Structure 1
Amino acid sequence: MTRLFNDPKQFADDALAGMALAYPGYLQGVHGGVVRATESPRGSVSVVIGGGSGHYPAFAGWVGPGLAHGAVCGNVFASPSASQVCSVTRAADNGGGTLLMYGNYAGDVLHFGQAAERLRSEGLDVRTLAVSDDVASNTPENHLDRRGVTGDLVVFKVAGAAAERGDDLDRVERLALRANERTRSLGVAFHGCTLPGADEPLFTVPSGMMSVGLGVHGEPGVRDVPMGTAAEIADLLVEGVLAEEPRRGQDGYEGRAVVILNGLGTIKNEELFVVYRRVAQRLEDAGVTPVLPEVGEMMSSLDMAGLSLTVTFLDAELEALWSTPVDTIAFRRGAVQHRGRRDVVSREVVSDTVPEACDPSRELAQRIAGVLAVLKDTAVAAEPELGRMDAIAGDGDHGQGMSYGSTGAWRAATEALARTTAHHGTPPAVAPCPAVPAPARSSSTMRPADSLRSSAAPAPSSAGVTSSAGRASWPAEGTSSAGRASCPAGVTSPAGAAVDGRRRRHDAGSAGSTTTTGPRPERSTCGTGAAPQAVRESENRRSSTDTPAPPPATPARPPLSNMSTTLGRPTDIGTGPARNCGRSAGERAALSLC
């Protein structure tokens, strides 16, 4: 578990501040993250990366010559805000445009996209790219809809090296896209991570089992299988990523590849080396030559017990960019030319001008601030219950999201009123908004996932369609005013809280037991899974109003009978209910929002 912290809510900020103090020659802190402490050529492209904290060395540990110019760091497992992205991007700007890169998660896609639009309105040339290397999270045909995991490092390194050699923004972007298209990752986990201040892990894996394809924020894997030896686990991972190896001679690929064996938090390097011995043997048998392989913690998940394998199928140019010198606090190779110090001031765009306003307008502003105060108090009081409900169908972060969002809105309104009062005097008094009592904490009975799947009685539903297995399928109708599909009351989402015997900590321990989760520690994640292409700012500029095609039929898949079973194509990896394969982009978006 995470043992060393002061205030759990401040864990990410404290860690980032300590990192900048420990490495002043590499990093300097700005609002929302860190930027390089060294100079970059004027007119060159800036590479800004980011995501939630809790994944060291991602993301701040990758800032330095040869890699990133800045890193935006959100709360633990939570996307940074658009304001933070803007701040770091402005501080890292070299005048040649900026490529924003992040893992493909709904929160990151939303906030980095919002920041890009805002920065473009200020005259900056800003592009975005979501890394999507996790083969367990979607089919090969939907590679761009997959989650981003350890493959981040390869894609970021290629972009950083291209910017370092003086490529313009168009070329840096194209090379990063090519690296992402050629990168594949697969991981396994043996035990979940514990957030700062929490008493229990985000998830557990049954004793003697391991979870294949589990996400770095505790997103459900595709299947639990019996725990194997180091060699058997290596076989599983190699077969999973090589299932999508391109043909030799296709687009410059001749059997050379980046290979990263990554520890997720508690697996020691000696254990990883035991696994890598078998990985190297299997790659040699397949005729794949590793190029400057890396073994160690490259993208962790706090104290999660697990590991992942990443392979990037190289062409000559990608190999050259992967091999160039780099100098960051966590990733170093070769000799980087000495550079002078760059003192940066975070340039926040804040207007101190308070426009004139009539008394009715000021009264209305005061009432709005009162409404936001009620919303804030209600959301904070309901945070544990909202998180508990969200954990049944998703990742359990809805309570904290509502609490943080409403608190931020209330704080901004309060500060705006204070500035108005300072300029124009106290507005006329208005009656306070009535307080809204917090919803009562309900006690609900939940069955284990195995009972849910095997139960003959279908879940009650007025809008969904129940499958023959008794599990409610995604409803064909029911969208909100925002155009997002909603989960009707009583319908069990396919993205269940447990997969193949694994229990989320919000689940009951056995059939008929009652969940009585108390006040819940801080819980926030970057999303339950990959942000679908339809909801992100895609490179082909696909319209967000496009109607997704109906999902194709999903054929039955054979189970993994033992560790020696070949995974085959990633569409055969498993049958867990959280599987995104076969679902339309709109359905996957709705699943990530429920």
Structure 2
Amino acid sequence: MTRLWNDPASFADDMVDGFVRASGRWVRKVSGGVSRSTRSSADEVALVIGGGSGHYPAFGGLVGPGLAHGAAMGNLFASPSAHQVESVIRASHQGRGVLLSFGNYAGDVLHFGAAQEAVRRDGIDCRTVLVTDDIFSAQPSETEKRRGIAGDLTVFKTAGAAAAAGYDLDGVERVARLANARTRSMGVAFTGCTLPGADAPLFTVPEGKMAVGLGIHGEPGIEITDIPSADGLAELFVQHLLDGAEVPDGATVDGGRVVPILNGLGSVKNEELYVVFSRIADLLEDAGLTLVDPQVGEFCTSFDMAGASLTLLWVDEELERLWLAPADTPAFRTGSIEREALVAVVPQEAGADDAERPLPEASDDSRRAAARIAAALEAARDAIGAEADELGRIDAIAGDGDHGIGMKRGTVAAAAAASGLVERGAGAGSLLEGAGDAWSDRAGGTSGAIWGLILTTLAGHLGNTEAVSAPKVASGIAAAKDAVMAYGKASVGDKTLVDALVPFADTLASRVQAGDGLAQAWKEAASAASTAATATADLMPVMGRARSHGTKALGVPDPGALSLALIAGRVHAVLAED
């Protein structure tokens, strides 16, 4: 279990502060994560990586000469927000373009994608390469759906070396895509991981058993087996990774060359890993492979999870040269970097705080509506706070167990932002926009992106100058529904928040059109959302991290749909007070 923390809610922030204090030779703190504290005399394509915290040395530990230029670091097991990613991009950009690379998780895809579009609008050429190395998360015919685990190191390292060698953005992107296409990983766990302040792990493995195909965010494994010997685990790894369907196009087993990476997930000691690796090396060499620069240790962890993963990078001449190129980061060093050729980066002054930015003019009617919206957000905060543990428990059955934590962080941040904006005389639109940004920034993850989108879309429909009416609210919620479905690509029946959002929005619109007042129409809509959320228990997941766990999700409602219904019901109580 995790034993040392101050406030669990601030664990990630406290961790980043300590990491930067200990690693100033390589990194400096920027809003949203870290960026290099030095730069080469010649400008380079910037490699920006990132994801949730809890995986050290991924991601901040891989920032330095020869590897990444910056890392966006989200909350525990939650993607960084779009604003955080954008901040790290701007701090790391050197004028030759930016390559983003990160694991293929819904929240990361949404937030990094939004940040990419934001900097592109300012003329920065920004591309993305997803890491998709986990063979247990999708079939070989659907590699684009696979998630990224410890194989992110191979993609980051080769792309960073290409940037250091002077490749242009097209070349760095090409190398990263090639490395990803030639990387395969699988993992096992003997225990789950426990987040700071939590009383129990995100999932459990029966004593004497092993979960095969786990995820690095605490997603449970695909199957449970007896714990084998060290040799038996080596044989399991190699059997799956040398399966004919998993050998990358253009690679061959007999006569091929691979970089093997045996990764500890948090609690397995290096000595144990070396025992396993001895047999792995025998098996790979017996198959006809040449081992190139083997790596054994912790490269992508999951807090205190007891487990291990094996990654194989099938190299050609270019990938091997880039893999072996010098790198100097807090957690990964190889070769020799000429530090005298590096120059210190002068930190830029932080921009003005949001609280200092002027607000647009607002009418008295809109200010009164803003005060009611702030009360509604406080009610949402209290409702989620009371149910956060249960939402996390439901999420852990087939997902990663962080939904309750993320929703709690998001609602607390949104309510605090709303309260401050009411004091400053904000209108309804400004308040919703500020609360949505705060929710997205603090929560991160898929839920943070979606709820931020819901609030900011509604903000655009309510504005700051006109009275808030039931038709305006209904049209704003309908627009938010459409925006969420377009953004996340989910439909009704996919077992997501959309299953509750669609009936909520549609019922609200129909009841308002029929002449109901906002409170009564919202009551009917909240009831429809609650019924739909409960019914998601009968659905199989089609999207998100629960997708790969199939039948484990049957009989369990979707936590995103439940939290939306919970918030809708509590907001009705606020509306009914008027």
Normalized against structure 2, the TM-score is what?
0.73
Deviation at 1:192? 1.2
How do 1:131-280 and structure 2 match up within 5 A? 131-243=131-243, 244-246=245-247, 255-280=256-281
1:376 aligns with 2:381: yes
User: What is the rounded CA distance, in whole Å, between the counterparts of 1:415 and 1:74 in structure 2?
Assistant: 24
Q: Secondary structure at the match of 2:535?
A: coil
1:31, 1:346 within 8 Å by CA — same for their partners in 2? no
Correspondence for 1:398 among 400, 403, 414:
403
1:108 CA drift (Å):
1.1
Look up the match of 2:96. Answer: 96
- Aligned counterparts, 1:132-531, within 5 A: 132-243=132-243, 244-246=245-247, 255-338=256-339, 339-345=342-348, 348=351, 352-420=357-425, 480=499, 489=535, 491-494=537-540, 528=545
TM superposition shift of 1:319:
1.1
Partner of 1:29: 29
Read off the aligned partner of 1:354 and give its amino acid letter.
Answer: L
CA pair 400-24 structure 1, distance change in 2 beyond 3 A = same
Distance 1:591 1:178, change over 3 A: farther
Question: Gapped runs of 5+ residues in structure 2?
Answer: 428-491, 504-528, 563-578
Q: Does 1:81 align with 2:81?
A: yes
The separation in 1 between residues aligned to 2:193 and 2:185, in whole angstroms, is: 20
Contact map agreement 1:99 1:173 (CA 8 A) in 2? yes
Aligned to 2:551: 577
The alignment of Structure 1 onto Structure 2 pairs a total of residues equal to: 462
- The verdict on how the C-alpha distance between 1:389 and 1:247 changes in structure 2, with shifts beyond 3 A counting, is closer
The change in CA–CA distance for 1:346 and 1:334 in structure 2 (over 3 A counts) is farther
Summarize the Cα distance change of 1:361–1:169 in structure 2 as closer, same or farther, 3 Å threshold.
Answer: same
Q: Could you tell me how far 1:477 is from its partner in structure 2?
A: 10
Rounded to whole Å, the distance in 1 between the matches of 2:21 and 2:173 is 32
TM normalised by structure 1 equals 0.71
Q: 1:25 to 1:253 in 2, by over 3 A?
A: farther
Secondary structure in structure 2 of the residue aligned to 1:188: strand
* RMSD, aligned α-carbons: 3.2
Summarize the Cα distance change of 1:335–1:476 in structure 2 as closer, same or farther, 3 Å threshold.
closer
More helix by share: 2
Q: Secondary structure at the match of 1:24?
A: coil
The CA distance in 1 between the partners of 2:98 and 2:406, in whole Å, is 28
* 1:56 counterpart residue number: 56
Q: What is the DSSP-based 3-state SS (H/G/I as helix, E as strand, rest coil) of the residue aligned with 2:124?
A: coil
Question: Which secondary structure does the structure 2 equivalent of 1:135 belong to?
Answer: coil
Paired position in structure 1 for 2:478? none
Distance 1:251 1:490, change over 3 A: closer
Structure 1, residues 41-89: CA drift from partner, whole Å, max 9, x if none? 5642111111111111111100000100111111111111111111111
CA distance in 1, matches of 2:241, 2:118: 38
Asked which structure has the greater RCO (Cα within 8 Å, sep 6+), the reply is: 1
Question: Structure 1 residues 592, 146: closer, same or farther in 2, change over 3 A?
Answer: farther
Structure 2 residue aligned with 1:461? none
- The one-character-per-residue Cα deviations of 1:21-52 (angstroms, maximum 9, x if unpaired) are 11211111111111111123564211111111
User: What SS does the aligned partner of 2:147 have?
Assistant: coil
CA distance in 2, matches of 1:118, 1:578: 38
Residue 359 to residue 75, structure 1, CA distance change in 2 (3 Å): same
For the residue of structure 2 that corresponds to 1:276, the secondary structure is helix
